[in-house]
Amino acid sequence: MPNILVTNDDGISSPGIKSLAKALRSVGDVYVVAPETEQSAVAHALTLHRPLKSEKAGKNTYTVNGTPTDCVIISVNKILPVKPDIIVSGINNGANLGDDITYSGTVAAAIEGTLLGIPSIAMSLVRNDSNNDNYRKRISLLKTAADFAVKLVKKVLLKGLPPDTLLNVNVPNVPGIKGVKFTKQGKPVYYNAVHEISDPRGRKYYWICGGVPQWEPDEDFDFEAVQKGYISITPVHLDLTNYEALEYIKKKFKIIL
Ligand code: MN
């Protein structure tokens, strides 16, 4: 049986991680190690300046009072009896699309797994704030996403992943999913992302809320696939070098000491 590490950034008590762990128990031995409290949008943060603690929270289930990245590092080095064959992070409560993945704790856990040489997948379920998802509908959508994670995990265990690459998966928030699309990272543009409000003493404060982004149109983009009712899978690599730009600056930037 393969060993599967399940983590997230929404915290140990989120419905998403419970659905995911439950579904993946049909594939292998599942270990759940997740942050004690929600850590959304902490990106790839690592806790270096305070000690971390892990508590047992159930069979093969542990909390860590740190970030998703802390969870992966501590799991792989200390908590798990064996190196996991695969890491699945999620199912995040909300999309992780386009450039926004650079903020994501969900994706960061998969980045950490990839850095440790373990095939890793980030799973997110799009939220529909305007419709105010009801709980039962949300649980049924989570089950759909978790069942898809089972299929994908089996595939990755069989075929492996290209080096230095994780899969970023987004499941649309619709009951009838049309299929699966392999996509590239899209480009959101946020308007009015920062709200300026006054406190009761008349002092300004700011609230970064993102709002609803506009997306550059391109049918290969992750956002467009999800918007059209498809599950989006983007292979994300960790080498941030822009190779085209490297050639360009080599030619154009003739800087002599
Ligand atoms: Mn989250």
List, in order of start, the domains of the chain with CATH numbers: 3-186+216-252 (3.40.1210.10)
pTM of the model: 0.95
pLDDT (average), residues 170-193: 92
- Cα dist. 235→70, 115, 184 in Å? 23, 15, 7
Q: What percent of the chain has pLDDT over 70?
A: 98
211, 193 contact by CB (below 8 A): yes
Confidence of residue 193 (pLDDT cuts 50, 70, 90): confident
Asked whether residue 210 carries a pLDDT value surpassing 80, the answer given is no
From the CA of 10, how far away is ligand 1's center (Å)?
4
pLDDT (average), residues 182-206: 92
Q: What is the DSSP string of 13-41?
A: T-HHHHHHHHHHTTTSEEEEEEESS--TT
From the CA of 7, how far away is ligand 1's center (Å)?
11
Render pLDDT for 109-159 as a digit per residue (tens, 0 to 9). Answer: 999 999 999 999 999 999 976 555 678 888 999 999 999 999 999 999 999
Peptide bond into 91 cis (omega under 30): yes
- Cα dist. 82→55, 58, 109, 130, 133 in Å? 19, 18, 18, 43, 39
From the CA of 134, how far away is ligand 1's center (Å)?
18
Q: Average pLDDT of the chain? A: 95
From the CA of 91, how far away is ligand 1's center (Å)?
8
Confidence of residue 256 (pLDDT cuts 50, 70, 90): confident
| Six token digits for residue 86 | 């695969």
What pLDDT score was predicted for residue 209?
83
What pLDDT score was predicted for residue 215?
87
Within its chain, how far is the Cα of 113 from the centroid? 12
Half-sphere exposure of 246 (CA within 13 A, CB side): 5
From the CA of 95, how far away is ligand 1's center (Å)?
9
Asked whether residue 253 carries a pLDDT value surpassing 60, the answer given is yes
From the CA of 14, how far away is ligand 1's center (Å)?
9
201, 128 contact by CB (below 8 A): no
Backbone dihedral region for residue 206 (phi beyond 0: left; psi -120 to 50: alpha; all else: beta): beta
Q: Is the dihedral of CA 75, 170, 232, 137 positive or negative?
A: positive
d(CA 24, CA 26): 5
From the CA of 210, how far away is ligand 1's center (Å)?
14
- Cα dist. 96→72, 104, 187 in Å? 19, 7, 12
- Cα dist. 119→4, 40, 67, 153 in Å? 10, 22, 20, 9
